[in-house]
């Protein structure tokens, strides 16, 4: 049963099914979630939404008539234990025996539906129609929900693009990558929502570029290259006409091709003049473009792509790029990292077809001494091992690091 409540009647333990009113009237870009944070409740109370739709069956509080029975507020420890136990939050149950097949099927469905909406939106832009913000924010919400469920499945599915659907699925993929990165660096919900929207609309200006140029299999002429570069300014102008587009979205659309060394376009911004949002957009846009099959090139693997991006000095923010690596779980071979398990590990090569490198742990940060090298299985959930930070070998007394790195990368171990 779905209840329609005033914002001030919402309490902890309720499962929000949706909001009535403009998407700008509340600070959440997810429309379905369980309220476990008191701050989220206060944000709803202070919002300008007309009403909140609450799913009684998925709530953890009891409803008696029109009232809600008192319930113990959730504690952080309860949430941590839920993740550590690997029990997923209340979700639609898929009656299939292979959980990976369910993830792929769901991701395919979300990507396909999102692609259809973006094709309709972009085709409308070609005809001069305004973008319906409620339509694109619904796409962002569905992508966010799928990223929360299984980011690997969705990002993997969006890499499989045909020539005819590249522009639309590229937007969906960059949206997912922006959401994923925003969550990795701990942005607020309002910021995460806007980053996802920015990823979805960052290339809308390509609707003002000749399709023959966009899909040309060979090298572009100077005139064609100039035409393609104009897409950032064209897209910015299209979005400005919409009225309700957040500033971050406009910024990413205009500046996602800027570089930290000032050699980007359209304004040759450099250093701190390039915003965090634009830096994120640059990383996510290039990563998806390189890992995707195009009419003029074969796709690179994620490891090949990340390795190359790290070597392009002056192009990307190096700290943000490492956060991006963490968000997708891909690191260049030879990278020294610290794990949650208080060990140092090195990213190992995993073959041409390997989507991710293997990790080899070899040092205890607690005992500050070398240990027997052994493989580590990284995990997305909080109860599993994962990367905390990139490390400087000198900090741990690892003298002659290049020689030690080369030795470790030659170690053979079971997958």
Q: What is the mean pLDDT of residues 381-409?
A: 88
Dist. CA 107–CA 169, nearest whole Å: 12
Q: What is the pLDDT of residue 32?
A: 75
Nearest one of 182, 193, 181, 188 to 330, comparing CA atoms = 181
Q: Which residue has the higher pLDDT, 301 or 104?
A: 301
C-alpha torsion 207→209→215→218, nearest 10: -160
Find out whether 386 and 339 touch, Cβ atoms under 8 Å. Answer: yes
Distances (CA, A) of 157 to 96, 160, 288, 393: 19, 6, 12, 37
Q: What is the pLDDT of residue 127?
A: 87
**What is the value of pTM for the model shown?**
0.75
Q: Dmax of the chain from CA atoms? A: 71
User: Among the ranges 103-117, 286-300, 328-342, which has the highest mean pLDDT value?
Assistant: 328-342
Query: Bridge partners of 261?
Result: 270
pLDDT digits (tens, 9 = 90+) for 251-288: 999 999 999 999 999 999 999 999 999 999 999 999 99
Tokens (6 digits) for 334: 């030879």
Q: Using omega within 30 degrees of 0 as the cis cutoff, is the peptide bond preceding 266 cis?
A: yes
pLDDT at 382 over 70: no
b/e 348-362 (16+ beta carbons within 10 angstroms → b):
bebeeebbbbbbbbb
Distances (CA, A) of 376 to 195, 344, 346, 402: 32, 11, 10, 22
Give the confidence band of 331 by pLDDT, cuts at 50, 70, 90. very high
Find out whether 288 and 177 touch, Cβ atoms under 8 Å. Answer: yes
User: Among the ranges 34-38, 163-167, 267-271, 377-381, which has the highest mean pLDDT value?
Assistant: 267-271
Nearest one of 216, 94, 222, 79 to 149, comparing CA atoms = 94
H or E element in which residue 78 lies: helix 76-84
CA dihedral for 118, 121, 124, 125, sign (positive or negative): negative
Quick one: the chain helix, strand, coil %, rounded to 5?
Answer: 50, 15, 40
The rounded mean pLDDT for the chain is 83
Nearest one of 87, 68, 265, 291 to 170, comparing CA atoms = 291
pLDDT at 412 over 50: yes
pLDDT digits (tens, 9 = 90+) for 174-202: 999 999 999 999 999 889 999 999 999 99
Nearest one of 236, 143, 138 to 183, comparing CA atoms = 143
DSSP string, 204-259: GGGGGS-HHHHT-SSPPPHHHHHHHHTHHHHHHHHHHTTS---HHHHHHHHHTT--
- Helix H, strand E, coil C: the string for 300-355 is CCHHHHHHHHHHCCCCCCHHHHHHHHHHHCCCCCCCEEEECCCEEEEEECCCCCCC
CA dihedral for 122, 139, 159, 287, sign (positive or negative): positive
Dist. CA 121–CA 168, nearest whole Å: 9
Q: What are phi and psi of 2, to 5 degrees?
A: -100, 130
Q: What is the CA radius of gyration of the chain?
A: 23
Find out whether 336 and 393 touch, Cβ atoms under 8 Å. Answer: yes
pLDDT at 354 over 80: no
Q: What are phi and psi of 202, to 5 degrees?
A: -65, -30
3-class secondary structure, 282: helix
């Amino acid at each position: 049963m779905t209840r329609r409540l005033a914002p001030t009647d919402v309490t902890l333990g309720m499962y929000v099914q949706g909001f009535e009113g403009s998407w700008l009237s509340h600070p959440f870009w997810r429309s379905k979630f369980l309220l476990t944070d008191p701050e989220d409740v206060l944000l709803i109370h202070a919002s300008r939404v007309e009403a909140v739709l609450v799913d009684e069956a998925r709530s953890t509080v009891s409803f008696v008539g029109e009232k809600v029975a008192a319930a113990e507020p959730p504690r952080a420890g309860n949430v941590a234990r839920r993740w550590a136990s690997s029990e997923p939050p209340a979700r639609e149950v898929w009656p299939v025996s292979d959980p990976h097949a369910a993830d792929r099927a769901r991701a395919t469905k979300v990507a396909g539906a999102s692609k259809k909406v973006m094709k309709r939106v972009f085709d409308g832009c070609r005809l001069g129609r305004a973008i319906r913000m409620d339509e694109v924010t619904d796409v962002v919400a569905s992508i966010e929900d799928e990223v929360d469920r299984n980011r690997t499945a969705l990002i993997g599915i969006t890499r499989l693009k045909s020539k005819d659907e590249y522009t639309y699925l590229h937007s969906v993929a960059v949206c997912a990558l922006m959401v994923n990165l925003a969550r990795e660096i701990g942005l607020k919900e309002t910021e995460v929502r806007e980053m996802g929207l920015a990823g979805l609309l960052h290339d809308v200006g390509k609707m003002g570029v000749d399709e023959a140029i966009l899909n040309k299999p060979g090298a572009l002429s100077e005139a064609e290259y100039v035409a393609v570069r104009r897409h950032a300014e064209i897209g910015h102008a299209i979005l400005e006409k919409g009225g309700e587009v957040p500033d971050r979205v406009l910024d990413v659309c205009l500046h996602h091709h800027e570089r930290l060394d000032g050699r980007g376009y359209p304004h040759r911004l450099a250093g701190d003049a390039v915003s965090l949002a634009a830096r994120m957009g640059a990383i996510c846009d290039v990563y998806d473009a390189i890992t995707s099959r195009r009419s003029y090139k074969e796709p690179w693997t994620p490891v090949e792509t990340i390795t190359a991006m790290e070597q392009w000095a002056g192009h990307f923010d190096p700290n943000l790029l490492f956060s991006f690596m963490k968000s997708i779980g891909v690191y260049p071979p030879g990278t020294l990292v610290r794990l949650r398990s208080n060990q140092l590990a090195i990213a190992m090569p995993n073959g041409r077809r390997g989507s991710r490198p293997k990790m080899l742990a070899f040092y205890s940060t607690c005992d500050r001494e070398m240990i027997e090298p052994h493989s580590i299985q990284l995990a997305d959930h909080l109860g599993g091992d994962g990367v905390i930070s990139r490390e400087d070998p000198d900090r741990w007394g690892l003298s002659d690091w290049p020689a030690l790195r080369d030795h470790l990368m030659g170690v053979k171990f079971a997958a």
